[in-house]
């Protein structure tokens, strides 16, 4: 898909596992754009918000004057994928946010930060996500959030065997609790690239200028 016909995918590069997402996109022939400024945000078709520290990303987005432009582009329909901390950034409500922490919103869910425990409690498991892949996704849960409420109009994309919701979509916004990029799992990114390509096709043009 690389080349002039490929959608232009950005990775928010303020903090977190940016490199892993860039490499995963490269594995599926997509050259990522690192997004740290509004000028870079203005020239992409879709955005990945990586895992990391959601409260730190929130602060840095405001320091770099990216918070409001990010929120605007998402509300205007730009496809966005949030993994782990990225899901927290996309949730309309963060149940245990630290003082002053804000989210970008875009998905009508309640999420709880670090719901699966501390770093030492990290684990790997196959996750069923029928809308994304026919077989379970390879997923790493690292200080991961969980979705505790799913609002109307939100599609559940992925659940654990015990029923906990770990993947959701509302329109142009997709959020997952886990890290596929550290497992060499490319199917979430392939799903997202198709979503972005469909959005570009329906809009009749690319964001690139």
Predicted confidence at residue 171, as pLDDT, reads 96
Q: Which of 62, 60, 32, 64 is nearest to 48 (CA)?
A: 32
Residues 6+ apart with CB under 8 A from 104: 61, 67, 70, 71, 74, 89, 90
* 3-class DSSP state of 88: helix
**143-162 per-position pLDDT tens digit:** 899 999 999 999 999 999 99
Catalytic residue among 20, 21, 84, 190: 84
Euclidean distance between CA atoms 7 and 22, whole angstroms: 14
pLDDT for residue 3 is more than 50 = no
Euclidean distance between CA atoms 134 and 201, whole angstroms: 25
The reply to whether CATH 3.40.50.880 applies to domain 9-203 is yes
Euclidean distance between CA atoms 90 and 71, whole angstroms: 9
pLDDT bracket for residue 206 (50, 70, 90): low
pLDDT bracket for residue 205 (50, 70, 90): low
pLDDT for residue 138 is more than 90 = yes
**86-129 per-position pLDDT tens digit:** 999 999 999 988 888 899 999 999 999 888 766 656 889 999 99
Quote the pTM value. 0.93
Catalytic residue among 20, 21, 181, 189: 181
Predicted confidence at residue 137, as pLDDT, reads 95
User: Domain coordinates of the chain in residue numbers?
Assistant: 9-203
pLDDT for residue 190 is more than 80 = yes
Q: Is 84 a catalytic residue?
A: yes
Tell me what percent of the residues of the chain surpass a pLDDT of 70.
Answer: 93
Q: Is 21 a catalytic residue?
A: no
Euclidean distance between CA atoms 138 and 202, whole angstroms: 31
pLDDT for residue 209 is more than 60 = no
Q: Is 181 a catalytic residue?
A: yes
pLDDT bracket for residue 6 (50, 70, 90): confident
Residues 24 and 48 sit within 8 Å (Cβ to Cβ): no
Catalytic residue among 21, 179, 189, 199: 179
Residue 193: both structure tokens together: 């690239």
Q: Which of 183, 75, 175, 182 is nearest to 132 (CA)?
A: 175
* 3-class DSSP state of 14: coil
């Amino acid at each position: 898909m690389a080349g002039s016909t490929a959608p232009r995918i950005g990775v928010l590069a303020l903090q977190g596992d940016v490199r892993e997402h860039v490499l995963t996109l490269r594995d599926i022939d997509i050259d990522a754009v690192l997004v740290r400024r509004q000028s870079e945000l203005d020239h992409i078709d879709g955005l990945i918000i990586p895992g990391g520290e959601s409260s730190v990303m929130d602060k840095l987005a405001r320091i770099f004057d990216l918070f409001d432009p990010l929120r605007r582009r998402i509300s205007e329909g730009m496809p966005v994928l949030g993994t782990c901390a990225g899901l927290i950034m996309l949730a309309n409500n963060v149940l245990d946010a630290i003082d002053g922490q804000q989210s970008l919103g875009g998905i009508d869910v309640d999420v709880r930060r670090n719901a699966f425990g501390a770093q030492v409690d990290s684990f790997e498991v196959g996750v069923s996500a029928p809308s994304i892949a026919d077989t379970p996704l390879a997923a790493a849960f690292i200080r991961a959030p969980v979705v505790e409420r799913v609002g109307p109009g939100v599609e559940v994309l992925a659940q654990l065997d015990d029923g906990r919701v770990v993947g959701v979509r509302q329109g142009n916004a997709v959020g997952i609790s886990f890290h596929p990029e550290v497992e060499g799992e490319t199917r979430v990114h392939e799903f997202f690239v198709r979503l972005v390509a469909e959005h570009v096709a329906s809009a009749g043009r690319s964001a690139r200028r």
